Structure 1
């Protein structure tokens, strides 16, 4: 079965209508270009003499794909965030959220796990769909423009594999197993490995050709990330370290950072304000390296108390007119 058909069947099998990559429409655009581009190919080998640009194709193909990807990423992030917030909620708030999600209180735990699995499967097959159509573009035009577009999409935060919510969903699924630091989700494995120095590495095998190896070492303190946050550029830092780089206190929060503050890794600006707190990953790491986590918590508590004290003393002086 062709991937387009398999992708279509997967989308039709969803309980509710979900956004998808319009593969048939995009292929139709490329087919019309393929006919014109054959004139520039060697008739014996079928190989292009040189890459060909098509303003008509590019003006339709990439904007359409960009629109699809934007809708898909927004949908995925929104659904994943809603699910994880419901899982992390407590008390009366948790009860209200479950009612809003129209979940029966009995068996809701299993429903959450099933929805998390469905979202991960959705992200995976959609990622394959985008890769397939971009490879098709490069084949038709004998270029690497599709690869460049993929890199541009990553900088625009339209790459599902870079979404912090995907990482949170996988950490959530491992957390639900409680005893194992790995899980298998719809044909791919995800696991957390800890070396002899308590350094953490998150491994995800999507296929034989696509593997994600996420080093969970903070580039600032060079320890395993503690209370991790994912910046909008997808790099992960300790919350305290990120606050230090962004020149804000824990009390003010990362949303108070100046827009010119840059990621210490990629040097992209304005990445702190929209940072995502990785609560599920934090819980997973606290179970995996308990001694390190306990010691780091003790040290950070002292620093947090110090910053809070300095903050409120400054607020009091301002209020009383001493500054």
Structure 2
């Protein structure tokens, strides 16, 4: 079955449950635009051979094809931004990261009476499908755009999405969802089915990764190595730019103490990997990933816990010594 038909069936199946609240890639309509543009270009080639130029549509008299550019890149930018925003907000809500205090307690209490099939697990499944189907639709339509126009504008647009953190396949939330799937399967003694759980994890190699298998069998790997200490991430945090670090390493890079947390970092502090500023304020603790690593790497986790506690005691002593000197005045 062609992807266009698969994508249409997906939208129809989830129209009432999920898609009606969310944006999706207008794959079918944009494909019709490209098909029309291809006919225009074929007509242009034949007209040039016959010396006829006046009969050409305006959109295809130029190499840049302004009509296609307007329909694609302005519209796709909005769609990609809306999809990324919807995905992020729903994952945060799913893991109670937007709730605080009593509201968070009530939400957690209500979930105790929710069936796993109809609750969190089903929502996770729908979110992963939402990301994968829209990501494949985006990749295929941009590839078709480049093929029709003999350009690399589609590839440049994908690079722009990554630089602006709108590429949902690069979102650290996918790692958190993948960790949730694996943790849930192991706790229920379920066999991992690639159709229901597209995530797999290899923590035994020198470069630990989590792998996501897309519907067209394309595989994406997410590194679980901290770029600072070059070891498996410990108590991982995802910065606003999407990069993963150990909490201790991220705090050191931001020049804050462990017990202060990443929220205490200056607004101009930069990511150690991409050097983007202002990424510590919205850093998120990857709790499901922490649970997964703690279960599978117990010895490593205990060693890092001991070293982190020692470092925290050391930093606390330095901090309170400075506070005492400041209060006393010497």
Match of 2:56 in 1: none
Equivalent-residue separation in structure 1 for 2:244 and 2:120 (angstroms): 26
Q: Are residue 67 (structure 1) and residue 78 (structure 2) matched?
A: yes
- Secondary structure at the aligned position of 1:203 is classed as strand
Instruction: Point out the structure with max Rg over C-alpha.
Output: 2
Q: Which runs of 5+ in 1 are unaligned?
A: 44-50
Cα deviation 1:51-85 (Å, max 9, x = unaligned): 93122321231010110111111111111111122
**Which residue in the other structure is 2:42 paired with?**
38
Structure 1 residue matching 2:237: 3-state secondary structure: strand
Residues 127-159 of structure 1: CA deviation (Å, up to 9, x unaligned): 111111111211111111101101110111111
Equivalent positions of 1:197-216 (< 5 A) are 200-206=208-214, 210-216=218-224
Displacement of 1:95: 3.8
Q: Which residue of 1 aligns with 2:4?
A: 4
Q: Does 1:279 align with 2:290?
A: no
How far apart in 2 are the matches of 1:91 and 1:257? 27
Task: Verify: 1:218 aligned to 2:229, yes or no.
Answer: no
The verdict on how the C-alpha distance between 1:276 and 1:106 changes in structure 2, with shifts beyond 3 A counting, is closer
Q: What corresponds to 1:47 in structure 2?
A: none
Question: Which residue does 2:54 correspond to in 1?
Answer: none
8 A Cα contact 1:187 1:206, kept in partner: no
Aligned mates of 1:297, 1:120 — CA distance in 2: 32
Alignment RMSD (CA, Å): 3.2
Q: 1:322 aligns with which of 314, 318, 329?
A: 329
Provide the rounded CA distance (Å) in 2 between the counterparts of 1:166 and 1:237: 16
* Separation in 2, partners of 1:217, 1:277: 16
1:302 to 275, 296, 310: 310
- In the TM superposition, 1:241-260 aligns within 5 A as 241-260=249-268
The 1:53/1:321 distance shift into structure 2, 3 A limit, reads farther
Query: 1:316/1:55 Cα in 2 relative to 1: closer, same or farther (>3 Å)?
Result: farther
Give the drift of 1:289: 0.5
Does residue 176 of structure 2 align to residue 168 of structure 1? yes
1:121 pairs with 129, 149, 152, which one? 129
Query: How many Å apart are 1:40 and its aligned residue?
Result: 5.8
Partner of residue 53, structure 2: none
Q: Secondary structure at the match of 1:225?
A: coil
**1:191 matches 2:200:** yes
Where 1:184 maps in the other structure, the secondary structure is coil
Is this contact kept in 1: 2:234–2:301, CA < 8 A? yes
* 1:290 shift after superposition: 0.2
Question: Helix, strand or coil: the match of 2:280?
Answer: coil
How much has 1:171 moved relative to structure 2? Answer: 0.3
Pair 1:24-2:28 in alignment: yes
Instruction: Return closer, same or farther for 1:181/1:222 CA change in 2, 3 Å cut-off.
Output: farther
List aligned pairs for 1:147-166, cutoff 5 A: 147-166=155-174
1:264 aligned residue (272, 282, 289): 272
Instruction: Structure 2 unaligned segments of length 5 or more: list them.
Output: 48-61
Out of 149, 153, 162, the residue aligned to residue 141 of structure 1 is 149
CA contact (8 A) 1:188 1:206 kept: no
Alpha-carbon distance between aligned partners in 1 of 2:180 and 2:101, rounded to the nearest angstrom: 16
